[in-house]
């Protein structure tokens, strides 16, 4: 005769319960739904990228026509302002290509388009593009490039990396000077980009998660519109070039972002070897 107190637990252990497999099924269902949601999001953003590029390109072409018209009539000041506006529109066209093409960020290495990048020219273009914004925020921009380093990167991506860091320094630096430095560390085969300000800085807890998606540098501060994607995207772009990025805040205040990029990433070497 079976001893109920001892046999019942074993019997219960052996008997399959109809609810035991349900959590696994539910998990798989949720996973499939999440994958479908990601696919739908990527499709939407791909369409959005196309829809944004088209009108921006049209505006750029119209501005180019106005620029030629101003030059023809000898209105130099107007020509200069139109040219600056056109360049801004062109930058937003490139930004739409880089930021909204999520597939490039989900598998960025296979979608890089590396080319020769003059670091001094890159820094100069980025700084010039932010002069008006810096003046609006009461900040000044200072650039310094040591030597004449040249890298082989995706030009649009590295421009976006540096632009984002400069933009953040202007917005969060509390009207302090923003310094942009670049140099080549030949021994390490790396290019270094440093963007610093003398603002309130970033505490250790925030620095630990600052490159996560939807993280903001300063939560709830005024004039800080955005979704907190900028530094996450910067981190992904840096990683796509087999580089690194870190942030420090010295005791005296301010923030210092340092980006290190291989002068010749593997993707660029593969492209050259395939020629």
The per-residue pLDDT for range 224-254, each reduced to its tens digit, is 444 345 788 888 889 989 999 999 998 888 9
pLDDT of the residue at 146? 95
Mean pLDDT of 113-128: 95
pLDDT of the residue at 223? 44
Instruction: Name the token pair of 120.
Output: 């001094």
Please tell me which of 24-38, 136-150, 253-267 the model is most confident about, judged by mean pLDDT.
136-150
Label residues 235-260 b or e (16+ Cβ within 10 Å = b).
Answer: bbbbebbebebebebeeeebbbbbbb
According to the CATH classification, is domain 114-273 in 3.90.79.10?
no
- Residue 206's pLDDT band (boundaries 50, 70, 90)? confident
Higher pLDDT, 10 or 267: 267
Burial (CB < 10 A; 0-12, 13-18, 19+), residue 200, is: middle
Segment 53-89, tens digit of pLDDT: 667 777 888 888 888 888 888 888 888 888 888 888 8
Cβ-proximal residues to 160 (8 Å cutoff; 6+ apart), any chain:
94, 95, 98, 99, 233, 234, 237
Cβ atoms 185, 193 nearer than 8 A: no
pLDDT of the residue at 182? 98
Helix 155-172 to helix 230-240 angle (10° resolution) is 150
Helix (H, G, I), strand (E, B) or coil at 242: coil
The structure's pTM equals 0.67
Residue 192 β-bridge partners? 183, 260
Q: Tell me the H-state helices in 138-187.
A: 155-172
Q: What are the DSSP calls for 25-52, one per residue? A: HHHHHHHHHHHHHHHHHHHHHHHHHHHH
């Amino acid at each position: 005769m079976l001893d109920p107190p001892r046999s019942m637990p074993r019997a219960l252990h052996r008997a399959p319960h109809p609810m035991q497999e349900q959590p696994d099924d539910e998990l798989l269902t949720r996973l499939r739904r999440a994958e479908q949601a990601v696919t739908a999001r990527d499709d939407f953003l791909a369409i959005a990228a196309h829809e944004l590029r088209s009108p921006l390109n049209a505006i750029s072409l119209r501005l180019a026509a106005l620029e030629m018209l101003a030059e023809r009539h000898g209105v130099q000041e107007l020509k200069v302002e139109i040219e600056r506006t056109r360049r801004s529109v062109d930058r937003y066209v490139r930004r739409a290509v880089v930021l909204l093409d999520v597939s490039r960020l989900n598998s960025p290495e296979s979608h890089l388009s590396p080319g020769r990048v003059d670091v001094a020219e890159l820094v100069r273009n980025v700084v010039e593009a932010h002069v008006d914004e810096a003046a609006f925020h009461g900040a000044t921009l200072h650039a310094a490039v040591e030597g004449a380093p040249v890298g082989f990167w995706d030009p649009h991506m590295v421009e976006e990396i540096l632009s984002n860091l400069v933009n953040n320094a202007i917005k969060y630096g509390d009207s302090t000077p923003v310094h942009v430095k670049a140099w080549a560390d030949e021994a390490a085969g790396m290019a270094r980009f440093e963007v610093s300000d003398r603002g309130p800085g970033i505490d250790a807890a925030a620095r630990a998660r600052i490159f996560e998606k939807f993280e903001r540098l300063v939560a709830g501060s005024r004039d800080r519109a955005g979704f907190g994607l900028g530094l996450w995207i910067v981190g992904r772009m840096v990683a796509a070039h087999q580089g690194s990025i870190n942030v420090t805040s010295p005791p005296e205040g301010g923030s210092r972002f340092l980006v290190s990029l291989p002068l010749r990433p593997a993707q660029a070497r593969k492209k050259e070897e395939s020629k």
